[in-house]
Amino acid sequence: MSSAVNMHAVASAPAVIDATQLEEAKGKKLVSAATALLVVGVLLCVAAALVDKKRFAFSYLVGFSWVVTTGLGALFFILVQHLTRAGWSVAARRHMEWIATVLPWCVVLFVPILIFRHDLFHHWMGPQAAHDELIQKKAGYLNEPFFFARAALYFLVWTLVSLFYAKMSRKQDETGDHELTLKMQAFSAPATLLFGITLTFAGFDWLMTLDPHWFSTIFGVYVFSGAAVSSLALLLIITVVLQESGYLKKVSNVEHRQDIGKLLFGFVVFWAYIAFSQYLLYWYANIPEETIYFRHRWEGSWKAVSLILLFGHFVVPFLFLLSRHTKRNPTTALVGAAFMLIMHYVDLYWLVMPTLDHHGAHPSWIDLAGLLGPLGLLAFHVAKKAADGPLYPLKDPRLAETKKVENL
């Protein structure tokens, strides 16, 4: 009852109006550019798979994980905004809906993972697993039928949750029904629980089991922290581009840009905290079968990649995003966000590729192909959403509230 009263009070505030749609010509140009990227990405993926199937499998897993984690980070943002009944993020939620609804399309992106699964997970899917005592003891979990079933469950949950929020939000654009907001709020708590469980086990299945002899109980949190960083970085880019193009002035302005930047800064620190916590426990225990994971990432040129990750994913962005002026200035905000998207790719590359190249990193054009295919689909999907739909929730009951946001 109190929620309904509060909602009525918020809804009685005066309307806030910005441009609701991209100009048709700009929308078509955006979709055309994204389509071109998708086509190039697919062609490069096909060529890479023909040239070096095993190398492509690992490179593609990095690109696939980049898109999936970015979509999951966006879904988390939507859930938290409804869970906390936030009023500042009305426009940002719509942009995150664009990103999160790529998750149903990730079922298609998962097909190459299934095709090349024996190249990726050969340690426990290959014939040598029958002679490995440790893997045999994990056979109740590490077996192909259960692997497929879990993947189907993850995609089912992500699809239902992301489409539910996108559908309810767009329906409210048409009807203005404030009860839809209450429904989204009520579902946010159980959906957040499902989100946490599925993301954690997907991280275990698709990234950690590349080396089934190593395990970490906080690996899922590590994956989540990277997902939050990448989704917020992409949100910041979308926000700045729309603001600088003159589409968002009232429902999203420099104050909202700073808020998104503050969240990005916070999750950069959170990522560093989880990464260090994970490393510290293995360093302190100094058990050979556990420290081998980090040894592989400190051998040869992987040492340079590890240092790049340390400074590029934490030290540099920490110092760069610390200033409020950096977050409020459109140019520096764009630079910082784009840099963090690159660092998220480096992070995933660091997780996946040492399984293939133990003694050093060997970057290849195949790595670029593995990224551009999944990235092209994400770009096309977001471009279509931006061109076809309203740029923010038109009849959200907190639309007027978002105009009052002010940072001290």
- Please tell me the chain's helix, strand, coil percentages from 3-state DSSP, rounded to the nearest 5: 80, 0, 20
How crowded is residue 408: how many other Cβ atoms within 10 Å of its Cβ? Answer: 3
Could you write out the DSSP letters of every residue in 371-383? HHHHHHHHHHHHH
Mark residue 286 as left, alpha or beta (left: phi above 0; alpha: psi -120 to 50; beta: remaining).
left
**pLDDT value, residue 4:** 44
* Rg over CA atoms, the chain: 22
Phi and psi (nearest 5°) for 373?
-60, -60
**The token pair that represents 235 in the structure block:** 């949100």
Can you list the residues of the chain whose pLDDT is less than 70? Answer: 1-16
**pLDDT value, residue 6:** 52
**pLDDT value, residue 190:** 97
Cα distance between residue 128 and residue 47, in whole Å: 30
Cα distance between residue 408 and residue 405, in whole Å: 10
**pLDDT value, residue 358:** 85
**pLDDT value, residue 222:** 98
Cα distance between residue 204 and residue 206, in whole Å: 6
**pLDDT value, residue 16:** 59
**The token pair that represents 302 in the structure block:** 């992987």
Nearest CA to 93 out of 6, 165, 20, 15 is that of: 165
What is the pTM assigned to this prediction? 0.94
Indicate if the alpha-carbon torsion angle 73, 79, 85, 90 is positive or negative.
positive
Nearest CA to 369 out of 24, 137, 50 is that of: 50
**pLDDT value, residue 34:** 97
**pLDDT value, residue 63:** 98
Could you write out the DSSP letters of every residue in 172-210? HHHH--THHHHHHHHHHHHHHHHHHHHHHHHHHHHTGGG
Report whether 153 contacts 368 (CB < 8 A). no
- Domain ranges across the chain: 17-397
